Structures are given as structure tokens and as C-alpha cells.
Structure 1
Amino acid sequence: MTSICWWLYVSVALAISMLWPRMALAENASVSPYNTSRVLAQQDNACPADLNDCRIVRLEPRSVNPGKSVVIPMQCPAGYPYPVGWDARRHEHISIGLVPGRPDGRVPRLVVGNNADEPGNVTIFLGCARQDHRATAMPQLLSAVPTNRAALRQSQ
């Protein structure tokens, strides 16, 4: 599979995974399955444990409107130019997916989607290294099980 086809496949899969929770919202539009005030802490996973030259770079917090998404480039600073991982502090109803870089040198990007009817916030933490570690695996998707989902099922 060529790298462009692979990139397209990953992008489509990411779009489906970001829209799936929104379709669940349509099942019971009067009650959100998400606890929109719950904030999930970052897990200190931005830098892989075996990389000594990795530094965590905290990006500016972003707000995402209901049903919308934003794209955040994984742009590391000049001294540590290579992204090797990422993590996030976010509201429960915020999902984040990785769109890998392309062979043309385009940096990887994170697509941040809001799956609820309330605004949500996210702060991205990038793991940045001095050397290119292409063999390092990165998280592909960060999402949460809706807290209110069990309550919705019991009421039906």
C-alpha cells in the first residue's frame, strides 16, 4: 500500500471514530451520555520511557465548540524538533486522533473533536526529541467512555 493511500485510509478511519459518539447522541438527544464538566488528567505519556532526549512541551489550551473539531499541528520547538508522543488534559466529551505525517515532510496533526452539546477544552502535551525516532509508536486515538452512558441504558 503506498504511503498516500495509507494516509488516506488512516484519515477516513479517524473521521469515523470521531463521528461515532455523535451518532450515539442522536439515540437519546434529550440527555447527553457525557458528563460535560468532568476533566480527564493527562497521564504523563507524552514521552516514551526509553527516550532520554525527550522533553514535554505544553501547548496553549484550546476550546472546541459543540459538534466541531480543530486541527492542531504537532510542531515541536527547534531544539527538540521531532514529535515522538503526545498526551492531553481534556473534558470527557473531547476525542483526539492522530493524523500521521506524510512523506512530503508534513508534520503529524491532532484532530480534536467535541462529541457533546457543550463547549470543551483541551491542553495538548507534546513529547519532543532531539533525534528522529521513527520507530517509536505513538497513541492513535484518545477518547473516553461516557460517564452517563450507564444511567441512560438503565432509564430505557
Structure 2
Amino acid sequence: MQANRRDARRNDRAGWWCGILVLGLALAAAAPALAQKDGLYDEGRVLEHMRNECRGTPDCMTVESRDRRVAVGQSAIVRAHCPSSHPHVVGWDTEQSEHLAVTALPPKPQAGAAPDPEDAGSLVASRVLVGATNNGDKVGRVTLFVGCSAGVPKVTATLRHRSGVPSHHTTFSGGPR
């Protein structure tokens, strides 16, 4: 009977240590996930203005919109107009938070006409409209830069969308973290 009690106590202690060992292994396996930053985006990172709005067009001037804040889960329209001295849009660029996606909006269709998807990102007269959508967990900001020319530019392609690669999802070398 004494031997059975001793064996039972030894088995209880062994079970307790096994439980600690299993818990320790589980915590060690979960440590990388627990240490990972919240969200996909680095909300402090800014995609810099790359000065692509004029694309080498002579006599091109840059017009800057006001800084626009975009709330979490919201979208905003940002616009910029060329002055009468330089009425032709050459292109556009932004400075924006990494977690914002900015897309050129199509021109307003004629009354009663359906919008043409091919018009998305096209440049109309002397203005550019873009939609900025916040995909992150913090307020983001965007500033629109429009290149304006005195003469009709020879533009063959226009920017349609700008967004950042989620910093917390990949490394800057392209591989997974």
C-alpha cells in the first residue's frame, strides 16, 4: 500500500512537470506571433513625394493641394486645380501615409451618360481628383501634387493608383518577415 501511494505521488509530480513543459513549449512556439506588431501597416511611415507630376515636361509647375487627413476606415476626395497661366495637367503624385491607398477618379460623365472605366485616371482640363482610402488603424494624411503646363503636354500614360506595401507584412527586400 505504501508503494502504491509513493508511486501515485511520483506520477502526480511527473504530470505537473509535464504540464509545465508543454506550457513552456507552447509559449516558445507562440513567441514570434506575440512579438509581432499590430496591423499590416507601419502607420508612421510616409511614402514621399517623388516629384513625378511633371515628368520632364518643360515649363511645368507643381500645384500642391492642402494636406488632407483621412479617418480610420474612411475615404476622402482630394483635388487640385491648375492655374489659368498653366491650365494643362501633365500628371500627379502624392505624399501619403503608407496605410492609405490613393486612386485617380474618373472625370464626371456627361448628364445621363454612364462613366467609362477607361477614363479612370485620365486628366481633364485643369484639375485632378483622387480618392484616398484609409486601410490602417490610425488617421492617415495625403497631399496631392499636380503638374501643370502652359502648353498641351505630350502625355502617353498617367498614374492611376499609389499605395504602399504593408511594412509589417514583408521586409523591404521583398521576403516575408
* TM-score, scaled to structure 2: 0.62
| Structure-2 residue corresponding to 1:6 | none
Indicate the larger mover: 85-94 or 102-111. Answer: 102-111
1:78 and 2:102 equivalent? no
Letter in 2 for 1:38: R
Offset of 1:132 from its aligned partner? 2.8
**Cα distance between partner residues in 2 of 1:79 and 1:135:** 19
Which one of the candidate residues 91, 95, 98 is aligned to 2:97? 91
The answer to whether structure 1 residue 65 and structure 2 residue 71 are counterparts is: yes
Give the distance between the partners of 1:101 and 1:53, measured in 2 at CA: 25
Partner residue, 2:50: 43
Moved more, 126-135 or 56-65: 126-135
**Ranges of 4+ aligned residues in structure 1 off by more than 6 Å:** none
Distance 2:129 2:60 in 1: 19
Match of 2:38 in 1: 31
1:129 aligns with 2:136: no
Contact persistence 2:68–2:78 (CA under 8 A): no
Number of the residue aligned with 2:121: none
Question: In angstroms, what is the RMSD of aligned CA positions?
Answer: 2.3
Q: CA deviation at 1:102?
A: 5.0
CA distance in 2: counterparts of 1:102 and 1:115, whole angstroms: 26
Equivalent of residue 119 in structure 1, options 135, 139, 155 = 139
CA-CA distance at 1:103 after TM superposition: 6.6
Which structure has the bigger radius of gyration?
Answer: 2
Total equivalences in the alignment? 123
For 2:94 and 2:155, locate their aligned partners in 1 and report how far apart those are by CA, in whole Å.
Answer: 22
- Report if aligned partners of 2:63, 2:80 keep a CA contact under 8 Å in 1: no
Contact 1:74 1:83 in 2 (8 A): no
Distance across 2 between alignment mates of 1:34 and 1:146: 5
Task: Using structure 1 for the length normalisation, give the TM-score.
Answer: 0.69
Structure 2 gaps, min length 5: 1-36, 111-123
Contact 2:95–2:142 (CA under 8 A) maintained in structure 1: yes
- Whether 1:142 and 2:162 are equivalent positions in the alignment is yes
**Percent identity over the alignment?**
31
**8 Å contact kept, 1:45–1:86:** yes
Gaps of 5+ in 1: 1-29
Match in the other structure for 1:7: none
